[in-house]
């Protein structure tokens, strides 16, 4: 089955530690995205990548980093510089032509203790 | 960015049709209308999208007003699994960095009663 996987589903980290969230897709999509969702709020774009080896900052990129070495993978690192990292993180992908139609993974809930 | 307005919440009974409205009076001629839904603790799920004509798929129907300033997502027979937050989102056509962002508002919380 084609889709997007995110792992782990729940993640706990101590304050000051970097943590990397995994996102893999087998939809053959060129574009991938990372969003953050806080309780009762909409999604906010962190980073996006239109093609391998290229990525752009979204609205709230500070304290985060990404890489796009393979078409299938777009990992997100939450660094210690992120002031409020506890949130629900969502990865999505789309074709380059169908940018409005994004397919989301199940999400990773990160809690920083 | 063009904005959308949706009711905060709606309620329906199981196996009855549901009409979820969305107003987008500032929509531009090249904006697509997308609908997503999000179940608790899950990622958003694409439902349907359209430009000018009404659209149908296996999940729902999308009715778009002639002036495109409003649209309605129609679930023909609501089930308990349809209980979710439904988002109406405008997505510009064309290239450019901002066109890659989906702007999710508060959406409409749909409650389905058994």
Q: Over the stretch A60-103, which tens digit does the pLDDT of each residue have? A: 999 999 999 999 999 999 998 888 999 999 999 998 776 678 99
Query: Has residue B97 got a pLDDT over 90?
Result: no
The rounded distance, in Å, linking the Cα atoms of A9 and A109 is 6
The rounded distance, in Å, linking the Cα atoms of B37 and B39 is 7
Instruction: Give the per-residue pLDDT at B98.
Output: 47
Mean pLDDT to the nearest integer, B39-55: 93
The pLDDT > 90 percentage for chain B reads 77
Instruction: Give the per-residue pLDDT at B94.
Output: 63
Instruction: Give the per-residue pLDDT at B95.
Output: 53
Q: Are A42 and B97 a contacting pair at CB < 8 A?
A: no
- Return contacts of B24-30, CB within 8 angstroms, 24+ apart: B24/B68, B24/B69, B24/B70, B24/B71, B24/B88, B24/B90, B25/B69, B25/B70, B26/B2, B27/B2, B27/B68, B27/B69, B27/B90, B28/B2, B28/B92, B29/B68, B30/B92, B30/B93, B30/B94
pLDDT digits (tens, 9 = 90+) for B63-95: 999 999 999 999 999 999 999 999 999 988 765
3-state secondary structure string, B37-51?
EECCCCCCEEEEEEC
What are φ and ψ of residue B47, in 5° steps?
Answer: -110, -55
Query: Has residue B96 got a pLDDT over 80?
Result: no
Give the three-class secondary structure for A98.
Answer: coil
pLDDT digits (tens, 9 = 90+) for A6-48: 999 999 999 889 999 999 999 999 999 999 999 888 899 999 9
Residues written for chain A: 113
Q: Are A42 and B42 a contacting pair at CB < 8 A?
A: no
The rounded distance, in Å, linking the Cα atoms of A86 and A89 is 9
Residue of A nearest to B106 (CA): A42
E-assigned strands of B57-107?
Answer: 61-64, 70-75, 84-92
Residue pairs between chains A and B whose CB atoms are closer than 8 Å: 55
Mean pLDDT to the nearest integer, B11-39: 94
Q: Are A42 and B107 a contacting pair at CB < 8 A?
A: yes
B106 closest CB neighbour out of A33, A42, A102: A42
Q: What is the four-CA torsion angle of B36, A69, A37, B13, rounded to 10 degrees?
A: 30
**Mutate which of A100, A101, A106 to disrupt the B interface (most B C-beta within 10 Å)?**
A100
Task: Provide the pLDDT confidence category of residue B2 given band limits of 50, 70 and 90.
Answer: low
Residue A89 near residue A108 (C-beta atoms within 8 A) = yes
What number of other Cβ atoms are within 10 A of residue B57's Cβ? 11
């Amino acid at each position: 089955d084609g889709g997007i996987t995110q792992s782990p589903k729940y993640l706990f980290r101590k304050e000051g530690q970097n943590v990397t969230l995994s996102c893999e897709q087998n939809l053959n999509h060129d574009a991938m995205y990372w969003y953050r969702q806080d309780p009762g709020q909409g999604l906010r774009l962190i980073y996006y990548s239109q093609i391998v080896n290229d990525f752009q900052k979204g609205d709230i990129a500070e304290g985060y980093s990404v890489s796009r070495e393979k078409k299938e993978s777009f990992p997100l690192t939450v660094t210690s510089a992120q002031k409020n990292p506890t949130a629900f993180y969502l990865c999505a992908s789309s074709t380059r032509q169908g940018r409005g139609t994004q397919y989301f993974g199940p999400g990773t809930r990160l809690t920083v203790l | 960015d063009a904005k959308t307005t949706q009711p905060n919440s709606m309620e329906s009974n199981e196996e009855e049709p549901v009409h979820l409205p969305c107003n987008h009076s500032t929509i531009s001629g090249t904006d697509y209308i997308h609908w997503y839904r999000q179940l608790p603790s899950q990622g958003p799920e694409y439902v349907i999208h359209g430009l000018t004509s009404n659209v149908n798929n296996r999940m729902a129907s999308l009715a778009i007003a002639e002036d495109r300033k409003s649209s309605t997502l129609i679930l023909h027979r609501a089930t308990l699994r349809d209980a979710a937050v439904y988002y109406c989102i405008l997505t510009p056509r064309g290239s450019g960095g901002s066109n890659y962002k989906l702007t999710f508002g508060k959406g409409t919380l749909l409650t389905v009663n058994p």
